[in-house]
Structure 1
């Protein structure tokens, strides 16, 4: 399958799963929402696993849909395996950040942790890979979605800015981990010294 097609299947498939989960949650009267992250509680640890799949209603899911499709597609163009690895890093770091530092007595759910992680990953990736295509993609993403970065600042009590910030940190860590040369070799042109 061509890479552009597998990227579309990956991004569309992920969003389809979110819609299926929200449909099940609606049928069950919102009972799945209790699987969100509850900061610093033992039961809330399960939220790290489930929270990005859950949304507090259809409007919440719809707000995340377009960025998930666009950013997920662009991310998966670099390979579905690499996209899955970046997503896993964002998922764990983003969820752990909310669990550790979130307000007590709250419950956090939603894929915006993933949205912000993917956004920052795509913005930062070029700095670590030093590939011109990654840098160009980062600039284009900044122009198209850069205004989303305001979401890492406190705004509404019903929006988890901490989830956005934690996802963004996860995206930066993913860009750093996945953008480095696994052999530790210096980028092209470095390491050669002429006397």
Structure 2
């Protein structure tokens, strides 16, 4: 079971590449005086749809970028290690779903930043771990909620007018949907023994018959056999045919039976 979780180069490579890309885009904006804010999500406008793709890579200032970088490094690494088969789909569809939902429910303002993706990852990792009920993934879910549980406050309006609570809420909902969409049957504990099956009946098991209701070992009752019902067995060496043997002596004066 645990061999499903393997450390690969992608566990470090994907988070580093994604975060370095964010910093590179911010460097381009500062170095050449670009203004990428207008490429963010502007709700319910056709031009604002471009932000569905671009907004996670745009940040307003250095503090905004720094606050998103550390959670992305941790969460993307956890996603790649524990959910390697679903990681790229969760990232891709998470960006699209959270961006489109933000476009529908957001205020008439530009919504930028990777915080929506962060909420997708937190929601997906937490809920998926609970759904699988596998102890390692449940432990991961608890660790995530301990580290980032305080983020839940920022999905409500009027907590902080400077942040996009709509993007956070959209990310949380998107992660929930993705955790239900992507099944992970490989994380279910395989059945090794018959007694682990739900249809197992201890009363019909030969081994369990040797134990009483208190778990004590007992001898099986002696089964009495009616001798009248037992048919007598004929001897294995009994034969109705006559066998004649002739003794032939060879040149070395050794006898050899022939039938």
> Does residue 66 of structure 1 match 2:75?
no
CA contact (8 A) 1:10 1:73 kept: yes
Correspondence 1:170 to 2:174 = yes
Equivalent residue of 2:171, what SS? Answer: helix
- Local SS of the residue matching 1:17: helix
CA contact (8 A) 2:37 2:112 kept: yes
User: Per-residue displacement from partner, 1:146-172 (whole Å, max 9, x unpaired)?
Assistant: 111211112121100110010011111
The answer for unaligned runs of 5 or more in structure 2 is 1-5, 202-259
5 Å matches for 1:151-190? 151-154=154-157, 155-181=159-185
2-structure distance, mates of 1:143, 1:62: 20
* Corresponding residue to 2:35 among 31, 36, 46: 31
C-alpha change, 1:179 and 1:135, in structure 2 (3 Å) is farther
Is the 1:7–1:79 Cα contact (8 Å) retained in structure 2?
Answer: no
Query: TM-score normalised to the size of structure 1?
Result: 0.88
Q: Distance in 1 between matches of 2:198 and 2:103?
A: 46
- 8 Å CA contact 2:52–2:99 kept in 1: the answer is yes
Give 1:137's aligned residue.
Answer: 140
CA offset at residue 135 of structure 1?
1.0
Contact 1:22–1:54 (Cα < 8 Å) also in 2:
yes
Distance of 2:182 and 2:96 partners within structure 1: 15
**CA distance in 1: counterparts of 2:98 and 2:180, whole angstroms:** 15
Q: Which has the higher contact order (CA 8 A, sep 6+)?
A: 1
Residue 21 of structure 1: aligned partner: 25
How far is 1:58 from its partner?
A: 1.3
- Root-mean-square deviation (CA, aligned residues, Å) is 2.3
Q: CA deviation at 1:29?
A: 2.1
Aligned twin of 1:111: 114
Q: TM-score, normalised by structure 2?
A: 0.67
**Within the alignment, does 1:91 sit opposite 2:100 as a pair?**
no
**Aligned to 2:19, what secondary structure does the other structure show?**
helix
CA contact 1:128–1:180 (8 Å) conserved in 2: no
Greater fraction of residues in helix? 1
Contact 1:89 1:171 in 2 (8 A): no
- d(CA) in 2 for partners of 1:13 and 1:191? 45
Q: Per-residue deviation at 1:178? A: 1.6
Contact 2:134/2:189 (8 A) holds in 1 = no
CA–CA separation in structure 2 for the residues paired with 1:17 and 1:10: 11
What is the deviation of 1:188? Answer: 6.1
Give the total of aligned pairs: 190
Q: How does 1:38-57 map to 2 (within 5 A)?
A: 38-57=42-61
Q: Hey, what does 2:244 align to over in structure 1?
A: none
